[in-house]
Amino acid sequence: MMAQLQQGGPDEKEKTTALKDLLSRIDLDELMKKDEPPLEFPDTLEGFEYIFNEKGQLRHVKTGEPFVFNYREDLHRWNQKRYEALGEIITKYIYELLQNECHLKKVTLPVDAIETEPKSFIFMSEDALVNPDKLLVLIHGNGVVRAGQWARRLIINEDLDSGTQIPYIKRAIEEGYGVIVLNPNENYIEVEKTKAQIQLSSDISDEPAEKRERKDKIQKETKKRRDFYEKYRNPQKEKETMQIYIRMIQREAEVKNRVTAVALTDSVHNVWHQEVGKTIREWMRENCCNWVSSSEPLDTSVESMLPDCPRVSAGTERHELTSWKSFPSVFKFFSEAVKAKNSLVKPTPTRRSNRIKYEEF
């Protein structure tokens, strides 16, 4: 239609000009917000009308049906924000289970933090720091999951056993382990930027003008894509925020000396991208095992182009299920590693005879 109008006479051109003027005066952001229902959701499971049944499955209190993502068929963004709001409630619910059902205590980090400093927290059994025999440290993957979780999708759509670390915690306590549940995704706080901070981020640096212009262009394009994505996910967001990271430390030597075995479940780490030194790579080959998603039976050796540590099948092709499906093998691996250490023999991962023998780097 626009092309046809532009090919017409003066009257058509005037109509085109008027149409452009009208479009220029429409605030598309505001129009988007008006089409989007308010992003206001309940802050409790009861408010969502869901509850975890005796099997640890999330079910609707009235219908008994599983969680429905497409609550409003034509509003994917709104459905996604509703899902995220439910996820935040479930995170708090899991924290309560860690304390009330697993009897872990919540510990603030850093332990020497001052009152105004950003803080995080972990969960520990009472004997975590004094257990004379063994300690299990649980670390979730990246993303939205928090302490005690393997996969939010499994918690919501499957059950608590497959989606949380609770079975690992209970099994560990039964076998005499102390337990620490880490919370590495809770490593920063998000605060609103002040006007001064917004201005400071756009100030001119001491770099040469040509280099600065290229850098500014890349940053603007990156910010434009990021803002577009954020606008899609959260069109009602009004404030510009910044992340303040919580203090962290590294203890390579202490970790290598005190850690007996590490079980990874479909880990996406890369020892080369993370600039890991030769000593760590050697330590990983001797002390780590990665249960990866695979169609092969549980514990079957899996070939890899990156021989950082032995890799075996988790017995499932679904990434989010690898921690649950490999559960018995992981504890067998730990048990063998502890026995080997106590007898001054190198740890023997599960089905060692079937594993790949890795050459030196």
Domain-embedded: residue 318 = yes
User: What integer pLDDT is reported at residue 190 of this predicted model?
Assistant: 79
Instruction: Report the share of the chain in percent with pLDDT over 90.
Output: 52
The residue-averaged pLDDT of 97-121 equals: 94
Give the pLDDT of residue 195: 60
Q: Worst-scoring range by mean pLDDT, 83-97, 169-183, 190-204?
A: 190-204
Amino acid residing at 271: V
The mean pLDDT of 120-146, rounded to a whole number, is 95
Q: Quick one: average pLDDT of 16-24? A: 68
The answer to whether residue 202 is domain-embedded is no
136-140, 149-153, 236-240, 355-359: least confidently modelled range: 355-359
Q: Is residue 294 part of a domain?
A: yes
- Domain membership flag for residue 243: no
Q: Which residue has the higher pLDDT, 340 or 359?
A: 340
In a domain, 290, yes or no: yes
Looking at the structure of the chain, the number of domains it has is: 1
pLDDT at 98: 98
> Where is mean pLDDT largest: 63-77, 94-108, 347-361?
94-108
DSSP 102-116: S--EEEEESTT--TT
**pLDDT tier at 361 (50, 70, 90 boundaries)?**
very low
Report pLDDT digits (tens) over 217-249.
777 777 666 666 665 556 555 567 778 888 887
Burial class (CB in 10 A: 0-12, 13-18, 19+), 169: buried
Range of the domain at 297: 250-361
Q: Is residue 314 part of a domain?
A: yes
pLDDT at 3: 44
More confident residue, 197 or 210: 210
- Domain annotation covers residue 279: yes
- The pLDDT value recorded for residue 211 is 65
pLDDT for residue 273 is more than 70: no
Its pTM stands at: 0.74
The yes-or-no verdict on residue 126 having pLDDT over 50 is yes
